Amino acid sequence: MRSIIVRGGTSLTGEVHVEGAKNSALKLMAASILANGATRITNVPDISDVRTMAEVVTGLGATVERTDHALTIDTTGVTSFEAPYEMVARMRASIAVLGPLIARLGQAKVAMPGGCAIGSRKIDMHIRGLEALGVHVEIGHGYIHATTPEGLKGAQVMLDFPSVGATENLLMAAVLAEGTTTIDNAAREPEIVDLAGFLSSMGAHIEGAGSSTITVEGRSELSPVDGHRVVGDRIEAGTFLVAGALGKGPVTVRGFDPHHLEMLLAKLEQAGCAIETHPDGVTISLTRRPSPVDIQTLPHPGFPTDMQAQFMALMAIAEGDCVITENVFENRYMFAEELLRMGADVRIESHHALVKGVERLSGAPVRSPDLRGGAALVLAALVAEGTSEILDIHHIERGYERFVDKLAVLGADISIAASDERGV
């Protein structure tokens, strides 16, 4: 078993470049199914989730070739409409093939995603929205079997919650539906805008992406795309910005649009960080203990739930107390139990975390409970006294390319060790 070893206390300085957004690249790969032929996507991160999605679309009959950070997906051979359990169970984002399969092949059979470590993430909204477009859905034996007995028809869909996944699936189905589809209370994340741009390059007609109302004029067919560049990963960027704050800095993070992180940057400034924005990134520094700052996670443009854990790692050493409120996922505090092992003072009450800042953390062996929680534990270890070992790092590798190498370039004393090389 591999683990990450961190010897805390070093300052971080320098520059790091983030990859393309995981949460966008996976959906663009699914969307490639909509057009018959070869689509090329650039700035694709080399992470395990992307490799899993490549297996999913390959299982449907496509071929996937990687050249450095570019993927060429040839969907000419896509004839299978089934995404089996062994694929979907490994990555919940596999559910994103539901909409494209229905739109292209007229039906889809996709395994029901299992429970997620950070929340149930129910797909009721996906199903209700697709039913409004004329999809007949049957659920049984662990599968969603969707058919379109009379074809996809445009409709008005109101989402109960601005779900990113539901918005994406509806968008990918609506582009090949007959007539006009309006999605109200749609997700507004930058990744939605990126997907809409990709679909527009394929010939789709979409208005309002990035707002709460998206309108789609259906087309009879779409064409492959050559060279769409995945938007920069704002969550990877935010993770390294918090690392820079913990390591004092200055640290410059490039490869993303700072406007995609306006709420996080505002909270980091409240915490005492000096922030300098650039067209393609941000420079951060912090010369004292952070000030306590309350946050509550909300859909974009609110504070991103994917940055909640990393921000808690910063608040763990704040000079005072704060309240962190999780409004998106009901079980996203599991990593806090591991943070306690490092000497943090955190008390969970329902969907609130009461964080009392301590002067210092202590190195300890901890387990990564999920993707962002694992990254947060690594960040906490950067400022902990002594050595920490973070186990179950496969969670981290789902969403961060060369995470350890990038932190080492900034000055962290960090390495990956096999089970017989542990330094704790």
**Length in residues, the chain:** 424
Structure tokens at 340: 């306690």
Say how far apart CA 59 and CA 83 lie, in whole Å.
Answer: 7
Beta bridge partners of 74: 38, 63
Alpha carbon distance 161, 187 (integer Å): 8
> Of the residues 1, 66, 77, 116, which is catalytic?
116
Burial 170-198 (b: 16+ CB within 10 A, else e): bbbbbbbbeeebbbebbbbbbbbbbbbbb
* Edge-to-edge strand ranges of the sheet holding 70-74: 63-67, 70-74, 38-42, 226-229
DSSP, collapsed to helix, strand or coil, labels residue 254 as: strand
Phi/psi class of residue 18: alpha, beta or left (left: φ > 0; alpha: ψ in -120 to 50)?
Answer: beta
Give me the half-sphere count of Cα atoms (radius 13 Å) on the Cβ side of residue 256: 29
116 catalytic residue (yes or no): yes
Q: Which among 77, 112, 78 is positioned nearest to 92, based on CA atoms?
A: 112
Report the sign of the C-alpha dihedral through residues 89, 93, 96, 97, in that order: negative
* Per-residue CA distances from 323 to 273, 292, 300, 315 (Å): 19, 9, 20, 9
Question: Among all residues, which ones are annotated catalytic?
Answer: 116
